[in-house]
Amino acid sequence: MITRRNFLGRTGRVASAGMAVASLHPLQFPELLDRLSTWGGTPREIARDESFWREVQQAFTVDRSLVNLNNGGVSPAPAAVQDAMKRHLDYSNEAPVYTMWRILQPQKEGVRQRLARQFGTDSEEIAIVRNASEGLQICQLGIDLNPGDEVLTTTHDYGRMITTFKQRERRNGVVLKQFPLPIPAEDDDEVVRLFEENITPRTKVILMCHIVNITGQILPVKRVVRMARERGIPVIVDGAHSFAHWEFTHADLDCDYYATSLHKWLFAPHGTGMLYVRKNKIKDLWPMMAAPEGMDEDIRKFEEIGTHPLANFIAISDALTFHQGIGPKRKEERLRYLKDTWAERLLEHDRVRLHTSLQPAYSCCIGTVEIVGIDTSAVGRYLWGEHRIIATPIKHAEFEGLRVTANVYTTMEEIDRFVDAMLHIANNGMPAKYA
């Protein structure tokens, strides 16, 4: 963990200033992107340019009477994305068997191509699903395993994915094996070694996070994938929080299986996700819902879920346009700057412990912070009850802390409100009504 003592001396307090702004009307969206495209400065410089981010903040319709610092769970979409989804939904309802199935369904292929282009893959390796959980469970449940086969993951992986493998334990007799990670983990060699030393002759699958949802820890996926591939072990990559969070492509991972939610950092409509399966792995991966034999080698077999709304999926393209309009690297630098700003200020206090690395290679916008001696659940209740600040209390067997996930629409004034509230607790303790 990072403490005040080992933090001070290598960084200083980051000044902050900002203001809440009104949301931009969707019809002004192209003009906004035009202005952003001509903005001068490096991504790092723009990350600190509040005038640039005031432009971006206007694209959202968020409630400024509260401070939403749980964008890791699900993020609001920009007004233009909401408008696109509503427009497609209205059109669907004119005559669904025609407008939805014959007009909008083919347009889904354009979305697939754009997602593949952003991820750096072939579009025939991209399935559009409803969230990361669905994509990951397709992989977890679709790989053939026999009784006694081991699946390996960490104690920090997402609860629903652990539950999925535990169901396979009960149903199929497989064995789930977990191991802890350092908090934070700032040595890739150590992380790879931990995965490697927990492999046995019975290990058949590895599940690993690209970024850990409870700590914001970025893991060395490519190195683990290649180490496991040498042993014939496939790696399922949980990218729920990574896609569109910072700049990377599939080449930086080299994995065979990857799933993400698009309603987090891409700002796509709620209930949208992406599954990547390497082309030569599609045939042997069973879909969760049955598909005809003729689709065995078709990535679309993972989308055979019956009638479903197309409006959400088509509007993913508008989210991609917004993401690309901001600029992936500029967005990454801003997200990391927001996390560093509140973290650096809180670390000046002796009672604060940060369970997230401040090294750029190991974290971006997600950060988990603890006030030593104060119950984290009480901190969450106090922040909401007294300040209308939303954050996520994490109570893990190995640590506890408040998970904080700002976003591009977050103002520096909102960061200040959060920091001031946390310092009040650190200095004065928890009021009895919230303890």
pLDDT at position 32: 83
pLDDT at position 3: 57
User: CATH 3.40.640.10 in the chain, residues?
Assistant: 83-320
Task: Determine how β-strand 67-68 pairs with β-strand 389-390.
Answer: parallel
pLDDT at position 38: 86
Query: DSSP H helical segments within 100-131, as ranges?
Result: 105-119
The CATH number of the domain covering residues in 83-320:
3.40.640.10
pLDDT at position 10: 41
Q: In degrees to the nearest 10, what's the CA dihedral of 42, 45, 51, 57?
A: 80
Rounded CA gap, 426 and 404, in Å? 17
Rounded CA gap, 85 and 271, in Å? 12
User: CATH 3.90.1150.10 in the chain, residues?
Assistant: 4-32+40-63+330-427
Rounded CA gap, 145 and 24, in Å? 51
Q: What is the pTM of this model?
A: 0.93
Q: Which of 279, 313, 310 is nearest to 296 (CA)?
A: 279
Superfamily (CATH) of domain 4-32+40-63+330-427: Aspartate Aminotransferase, domain 1 (3.90.1150.10)
Query: In this predicted model, what pLDDT tens digit does every residue of 305-346 receive, in sequence order?
Result: 999 999 999 999 999 999 999 999 999 999 999 999 999 999
Q: In degrees to the nearest 10, what's the CA dihedral of 261, 262, 264, 265?
A: 120
Rounded CA gap, 279 and 195, in Å? 26
pLDDT at position 25: 55
pLDDT at position 158: 97
Q: pLDDT 10s digit of each residue in the chain, 435 long?
A: 665 545 444 443 333 333 333 444 554 778 888 888 889 899 999 999 999 999 999 999 999 999 999 999 999 999 999 999 999 999 999 999 999 999 999 999 999 999 999 999 999 999 999 999 999 999 999 999 999 999 999 999 999 999 999 999 999 999 999 999 999 999 999 999 999 999 999 999 999 999 999 999 999 999 999 999 999 999 999 999 999 999 999 999 999 999 999 999 999 999 999 999 999 999 999 999 999 999 999 999 999 999 999 999 999 999 999 999 999 999 999 999 999 999 999 999 999 999 999 999 999 999 999 999 999 999 999 999 999 999 999 999 999 999 999 999 999 999 999 999 999 999 999 999 999
Distance set, CA 51 to CA 84, 187, 417 (Å) = 27, 37, 20
Query: In this predicted model, what pLDDT tens digit does every residue of 258-315 receive, in sequence order?
Result: 999 999 999 999 999 999 999 999 999 999 999 999 999 999 999 999 999 999 999 9
Under 8 Å between Cβ of 150 and 204? yes
pLDDT at position 347: 98
